Structures are given as structure tokens and as C-alpha cells.
Chain A
């Protein structure tokens, strides 16, 4: 039996088992299942937002609350039916998320999670103090859900609505993760510079994801209001937000299945404790809070990967998306840029100056790179090479001077704009996503060559484009000689291979200029040789390459032309053999023998 078949069969069994829950258990247990389902919806959003993209939110209970109150208010004040109130509740929540996200998602480091505490605390306080929303007593007598004219009053009836939604949302999230936007989401942790280098807008990706997770929370809130038919501030407090976080960590942060597992374990455990603790102590409720907090802390200390990481060895390997798995070529390849004619000026750097607080890091340096050639920018430590690299790629703004790419002034352009023009880059400290496959890492490079957004990705309407992107990724992987290892995790590769994968990722963006930041640093001899061979081959294929490097040995035999820097100024510009004989270059590298 193939593993896909096994998985499908497994899924079928789980679905059948779930479907029979209302037939087998009493309504108390069914209610518990409903709670689990509603919590799962929130946690699914958190898995994507916090687990995958690393944007920690303690405040998602507030989004659940906003939607629950919105639908409750619309329903009780205007007798709007639940199904009509649903889009309103989702829209209100999404609007709040856009506002909050626009304000806070640029916050760096731990400031962002801290800001979620602020609104996670303020929103429920607001519910509790607004007369319109019934203050602390909340809103009651909310209409139940109804399907085909029948009110779903019982827990058993609501069960199917809740779990069908969980299923659909789970499927959407699964597709989303394996789409073009999903790759960007999985790369968010790699930092803004990585995403900009493939032409993605990191802030935009994070905002979309934030709003999406809020909408999932809203869906849960809408269900909550109509299943329980009563809302009050308590279930949407910061405490509840942290409980959702707990469920995510328990389940295993990065995995969608973890959302169900986490919600189930936490809520079931709460229930068991509620039954057991009163037998041992009269302070059952208090002890429960303490026990839960203590368990959470133990989990953080001992198994931050969550329960799924403990059983993951037993589970079958993570499936590959259909587009990634098929090796059947797409009907047509991705569009390519028009290549400049050989010898035309591609990049010209003119009298560039960069000062850091009075310290001159780069002083009036100028040079040119022409289409089809391979240029090395070298110099000893502290020569200003890396600064120069950052100035060209737009990572740093320059103090004076001018940089032109393809005849256009790019002095004031952002990294992303420059990347979109066709400048592909690699990183000195390799920026691959270690847990993503080689194929996905390289496919990320083609991000700007695709169009499908989150919606098409989640609904799996992006298959044709995905096939074209993966085709391109495979082609680049073949170019670096890694065919057959596409599905390995990038982090499991040796450093030399990781450097090659970064080059393949840059190539997947169809660059006009490939610019490499210290590609040989930390490599062993055979790895350097392999890298040099690849670069030679690429030059023969017509790729223009600029190498910023410290290692003269590596560059010497490779490049057509050398630019040597020391102490922020240009020391030399010419053929490699002449550089070797140049007195100034010798002194810069070996020091004065004085």
C-alpha cells in the first residue's frame, strides 16, 4: 500500500470516528468536542502565525471576542440571522486586525509580542465596560445556528457544523502552507532581508497572515456566540489568549495537526482535572490554575517541540504537495527577462561614500560590472567590502555617490525593488530555511515570478503556476548538481552544499546580475573547488557574476577582473595576475614586514 493511500485511509477512519461521536457519547462530551473544535480553529491560525512565521500573539482571544460580540450584538439588536451576521463579524474582526497589525507588525524583537498583551488586555476590558455590550453581564439570548430552517439547539446538532468548519479550514491551511505564499510565510522567520532578496514584501506577508489568523479566530468566535448563545468578557481575556498559546505549544508549534492535538489535550485535561481535583481538595478550581501553569512551564522547559515532536518519529513523513511531487513538466516554463547584450554596462558604482557616525567605511569607491563578466571585489577584514555589498543591494543607504543598475539610478531604491529589477544575491551567513526542503528553498527564489495569492493558494487553484515554479526550481537544482536530493531538509546539508543551494535560489529569480557575499568563507578545500567549478560553468552560460570575497586564493583563478579595497578605498582595479604582483595589495594582505 502506498503512503498516500495509507494517509487517505487514515483520514477516512478519523472522519468516520468523528462523525459517530454524537451517536456514541452524551451531550456533555459532545459539548466538550464542540469546544475543542472551536479552539482548534483559533489554534490553527496561531500555528501559522506564531508556530510557522514566529509572530507570537497572546491576544487572539480578543479577536474571538470581537467577532462573538459583533454577531451577538447584530443578532440581538437587529435580529440579523447568524449566517448573515457571519460576514459582518468576520469583516469587523479583519478590520480590527488590519488596524492593529498595521500599527504593531513593524515592531522588532520582543516588542511585538508585548504589544499583543496591550490589546489582548484592553479589548476584553472594553467589552466589560461598554453599556451597549451589556458590561460584565454580557449579551444573552443569542439565536442558535439554523440549517435549512431547522434550529440547531442541541450540542449534537452544532457538532457537525463546528467540525465541518474545522475540516475545511484545516484543508485550506494545508494548501496555503504548500503554496507560493506559504513558502513566503515559512520564510518569514528568516528575516526581512531574506524575503526582500526574493522580491517578497515581508511586512505585507506578515500583515496578510495576521489578518488571516484573526479571521480564523473570528470564525471561532461566531460559532461560540451561536453555540453557547451567550457572551461575556471572561472567555476572551488575556488568560484565554495564553490558553490558546498553550494549546499551540502543547500540540507542537509548527504543525497543523498539532492544533487539534493541542486543543484536545488541553481541554480534555481541564475536564479531567475538574472531575478529579474536587476529590482531593476543596480548592479544586484554584489548584487547577496552578497545575496548568506548572504543566505549561514544565513543557517549555522540557519539550518545547510539543507532543507531536515526541510521536513524530512514528508518524509517516510529511507529505509533499502534489505540485512539488510531480516531475511531469509544466505546459510552459516561467517567463524570463530579456538578457542585456554581452559587454554592456550592467552595474556602475560611482564615487560611493558611506559614513557611520563620522567613521568612513567606504570612501569614494567606483567601478563597473559589464554583462557576461565575472568580477571579484576583494580586500582584507575591515576593508569595507561588506558595506559596499550592502550599498549595492540596497540593504544600506549610502551617504554620497551614485549606483546604477541597468542604466537606472538605484541609489534610493529599496532592497526589494532592486531584487525585482533582477539582482540576485546570496548571504555570507547562509539564510536557508533549515526545515524546508531544498526544493522549497529554491522555489522561494522564484517568488516574484508567480502571481497566486493566499486565497488561490488555500483553495488549491494555483496548481498550474506551482508546477511551473517547481519546474524552474528543479532546473536550478539540476544546475548545481543536486538532482535527487530535492526533498532533503536544507539544514541537513553541509555548508558547501548550502552555499550552492543559495546560488540556486538566487538563480531561480532569473537574475541579470548574481552577486555573492563571501561564498567561500568557512568552506573546506574540496567544497571550494566545487563552488569554483559551478561559478565557471555559470559564466559560460552567460550569467554575470560579482563575488565579494576575502579569500584571494579562491577568487584569483576564477574572475576576469579584480577590484581590491582596503581601509574603505579602492586600491586596485585590473587583472588578477597583476593584483598578485601589486605592492599595495601584498602589503594590505600580508601586512608590512617593517
Chain B
């Protein structure tokens, strides 16, 4: 079986500086794969390159097809979706507008869009309550939910989440990660980038530890959780 998303020997420059040096990773259908590592390890850069916001060298295969030369919108149309660390919501627009725009790429009928909207509201009741509110007035956790909800409106096949727990209180982190695990049941495959290493490994099947733009360790999440090398890459070796 070929991987749904395969990144092979990817090099990415951020500005004039190469921030990712030859990273390879695989995401199979129905899996949650986490990419963890300290700040500045190149995790966000990797995701930006995967969606096409940054140019890259190497191969990015989606469902067996090379997508590395496509524009962002083409990748989104094929079913790849990124929820970036900065969320990139439409701050001055309402929650409802944000969600509707999430389905922009599907060019579907109003009825289909409404049905999908109800599904998202069912998953995030908080968004339904706040549907007329402007996105910029939401709290941090609600913004994250809106970003996830907007991504789900496009019914992606692969969802890439960049630091979904960033800046959120521990209780909300648990809630968000529970939702992420729930998405897998709906057949969405997830690439999860997290700094909160233990929580990410708890929620995923397989993990990669990125350090200074390179994969330092990889393996099954339950194995990685007790790997001393993960600990060291965060807190420093002795």
C-alpha cells in the first residue's frame, strides 16, 4: 500500500536560510502521525512547504501523485488542508462566513453546504452559538475550533494541524485533541505538529522527532513516549 501523503527528502528554505534539510515522512490513510520537536526545529516550515506556501525541493506525493509543483489552491482542491499555527481566520468576518468559505473549494450546492455546516456545528456546538459573531472576537480555544471547523467544511482527506494546542489552557487542549482523535473515525488522516510532545504522542499512531531541520528519531508513538532521546531533544542532554 502506498502512503496517502509521502514526503521524500524535502529541503525547504525559509527566507535565505535552509530550515528543513532532507526530511522524509509518511502518512497512511486513517492514521494520525505526529511531528514533534523543539521550537525552531523546522516543523511549521515543513507544513508550509507541504501545502505549498513555501517552495521546496524534493518530492511530495499525495495519493501517489507528485504535487510539489502545484499551487496551494490546487493542493487544497485535491483534499490536502492545513490549519496553520497562526490560524489565518478571516477576522473581520462572521463565524458563519468563515465556515462557508471553508467550503469554497467544493463548489457544491447550497443544500450540500448546509448539510456539512450542520455536521460541523454538531461537532463544535460552541461555533453554532456564536455563528454571527466576528471571528476576531472569539477566544483562543474557539478560534482553534473555528479553524478546525473551516478546514472540515472542505471535507479534506489529509488534515495538517500546526500546534493546535498553542497558547491554550490544558483543559481546552484535551478537548481539542479529543476532537482530533474523533476525526480519524470519520476517515480523515491527520498530520499533527505539536510542541506539547507527550500529548501529541498520546494521540497519534506514529511519531517523528524533528531537530534542527532533520528527523532525529522516529517510531511508534507508544515506543517514542518512553524514549530518552525525545526527552533530551527538549530539555538538553547531560
* B196 at the binding interface (Cβ < 8 Å): yes
Query: For residue B213, which residues in chain A have a CB less than 8 angstroms away from its CB?
Result: 522, 524
Q: Does B39 contact A (CB under 8 A)?
A: yes
Name the B residues within 8 Å of A328 (CB-CB).
none
Closest-CB distance, A586 to chain B (whole angstroms): 7
Q: Does B101 contact A (CB under 8 A)?
A: no
Residues of A within 8 A of B233 (CB): 553
- Across the interface, do B166 and A551 meet the contact criterion of CB distance under 8 Å? no
Cβ contacts under 8 Å, B42 to chain A: 522
State which of A521, A592, A593 has its C-beta within 8 Å of the C-beta of B40: A521
- Bitwise, B194-215 to A at CB < 8 A (1) or not (0) is 0111110010000000001100
Q: Are B236 and A495 in contact (CB under 8 A)?
A: no
Q: Is there contact, CB below 8 Å, between B167 and A590?
A: no
Q: In the complex where A553-B236, A590-B231 touch, is A521 in contact with B39 (Cβ < 8 A)? A: yes
Contact between A381 and B212 (Cβ–Cβ < 8 Å)? no
The 8 Å CB contact of B235, one of A434, A589, A591, is A589
Contacts of A594 in B (CB 8 A): 170, 174
Expressed in whole angstroms, the Cα–Cα distance for A380 and B194 within the complex equals: 12
Q: Which of B218-238 contact A (CB under 8 A)?
A: 231-237
Q: Is the CB of B39 within 8 A of A590?
A: no
In the bound assembly, the distance between CA atoms of A594 and B167 in angstroms comes to 18
**How far does the alpha carbon of A594 sit from the alpha carbon of B171 in the complex, in Å?**
11
B167, B212, B232: the one within 8 Å of A524 (CB): B212
The minimal Cβ–Cβ distance linking A303 to chain B, given in whole angstroms, is 21
Q: Does A62 contact B (CB under 8 A)?
A: no
Is the beta-carbon distance between A580 and B16 smaller than 8 angstroms? no
The answer, among A381, A434, A590, A591, for a CB contact under 8 Å with B16, is: A434
Asked whether B17 is an interface residue with its Cβ less than 8 Å from the other chain, the reply is yes
The distance in angstroms between the C-alpha atoms of A594 and B202, with both chains bound, is 9
A354: interface (CB < 8 Å): no
B22 within 8 A of A: no
For window 515-571 of chain A, which residues contact chain B by CB distance below 8 Å?
518, 520-525, 528, 550-557
Cβ contacts under 8 Å, A495 to chain B: 17
Q: Does B30 contact A (CB under 8 A)?
A: no
* Chain A residues with CB under 8 A of B163: 381
B19 at the interface (CB under 8 A from A): yes
Which residues of B are found within 8 Å of A593, using beta-carbon distances?
A: 198, 202
Nearest-neighbour CB distance to chain A for B117, whole angstroms, equals: 30
B79 at the interface (CB under 8 A from A): no
When C-beta atoms are compared, the residue in chain A nearest to B16 turns out to be: A491
B139 to chain A, nearest CB (A): 10
Q: State in angstroms the CA–CA spacing of A382 and B166 once bound together.
A: 8
Task: Give Cα A553 to B39, complex, Å.
Answer: 11
**A552 close to B235 (CB less than 8 A):** yes
Set of chain A residues within 8 Å of B55, measured between Cβ atoms: none
A590-B17 in contact (CB<8A):
no
Chain B residues lying within 8 Å of A553, measured Cβ to Cβ, are 38, 232-237
Contact in complex: B198, A525 (CB < 8 Å) = no
The distance in angstroms between the C-alpha atoms of A522 and B195, with both chains bound, is: 15
For chain B residues 69-123, which have a beta carbon within 8 Å of chain A? none
CA distance A552 to B37 in the complex (A): 12
- A592's partner among B21, B166, B170, B234 (CB-CB below 8 A) is B170
In contact, A551 and B198 (Cβ under 8 angstroms): no
Q: Which chain B residue has the least Cβ–Cβ distance from A586?
A: B235
Does A590 contact B40, Cβ atoms closer than 8 Å? Answer: no
Which of B16, B174, B199, B202 has the most chain A CB within a 10 Å cutoff?
B16
Most buried by A among B42, B170, B198: B198
How many angstroms between the C-alpha atoms of A523 and B211 in the bound complex? 10
Minimal Cβ-Cβ distance residue in A for B225: A593
Q: What residues on B are CB-neighbors of A521 within 8 Å?
A: 39-40
Look across to chain A and name the residue whose beta carbon is closest to the beta carbon of B38: A551
**Cα–Cα distance between A520 and B38 once the two chains are bound (Å):** 11
Distance between B126 CB and nearest chain A CB, rounded to angstroms: 20
Contact indicator B40/A551 (Cβ below 8 Å): yes
Q: How far is the CB of A363 from chain B (nearest CB, A)?
A: 15
Which of A523, A528, A554, A590 contacts B198, CB < 8 Å?
A590
Contact B197 A525 (CB under 8 A): no
Judge whether A380 and B195 touch: CB under 8 Å: yes
Contact with B along A441-476 (1 / 0, CB 8 A): 000000000000000000000000000000000000
Give Cα distance in the complex from A384 to B32, angstroms. 31
B55 to A: closest C-beta gap in Å: 18
Q: Residue-by-residue, is B150-181 near A (CB-CB < 8 Å gives 1, otherwise 0)?
A: 00000000000001011100100010000000
What are the residues of chain B within 8 A of A551 when measuring CB–CB? 38-40
Cα A494 to Cα B21 in complex, Å, equals: 14
The residues of B that contact A523 with a CB separation of less than 8 Å are 40, 212
How would residues 43 to 80 of chain B score, 1 for a CB under 8 Å from any chain A CB and 0 otherwise? Answer: 00000000000000000000000000000000000000
How distant is A587 from chain B, measured CB to nearest CB, in Å? 9
Residue among A381, A434, A523, A552 having the largest count of chain B Cβ atoms under 10 Å:
A381
Residue of A nearest to B168 (CB): A382
Which chain A residues numbered 367 to 405 have a C-beta less than 8 Å away from chain B? Answer: 380-382
Residues of A within 8 A of B202 (CB): 593
**How far apart are A91's CB and chain B's nearest CB, in angstroms?**
45
Q: In the complex the two chains form, is A591's CB within 8 Å of B40's CB?
A: no
B49 to chain A, nearest CB (A): 15
Which chain A residue shows the least CB distance to B140? A359
Nearest chain A CB to B162 CB, angstrom units: 12
Given known A521-B39, A522-B17, A550-B39, contact A580–B170 (CB-CB < 8 A): no
Query: In the complex, A313→B81 CA distance in Å?
Result: 44
Complex interface: chain B residues within 8 A of A550 (CB): 38-40
Contact between chains at A552 and B234 (CB < 8 Å): yes
How far, in whole Å, are A586 and B232 apart by their CA atoms in the complex?
Answer: 12
A551 to B37 Cα, complex, angstroms: 10
- Partner pick for A518 among B40, B232, B234, B235, CB 8 A cutoff: B40
> A486-525, CB under 8 A of B: which get 1 and which 0?
0000010011000000000000000000000010111111
Given contacts A491-B16, A550-B40, A551-B39, contact A525 B212 (CB under 8 A): yes
B-side contacts of A555, CB under 8 Å: 236
Q: For the A-B complex with A552-B235, A553-B38, A590-B234 known, give 17 more contacts whose Cβ atoms are closer than 8 Å.
A: A380-B195, A382-B167, A434-B16, A491-B16, A494-B17, A495-B17, A523-B212, A524-B21, A528-B212, A551-B40, A555-B236, A556-B236, A589-B235, A590-B197, A590-B231, A591-B165, A591-B199
Q: Which residues of B contact A (CB under 8 A)?
A: 14, 16-17, 19, 21, 38-40, 42, 163, 165-167, 170, 174, 195-199, 202, 212-213, 231-237
8 A-B pairs, CB-CB below 8 angstroms? Answer: A381-B163, A524-B21, A551-B39, A553-B235, A557-B236, A590-B198, A590-B234, A591-B197
A-B pairs, 10 with minimum CB distance: A553-B236, A591-B196, A521-B40, A550-B39, A556-B236, A495-B17, A593-B198, A382-B167, A591-B198, A591-B199
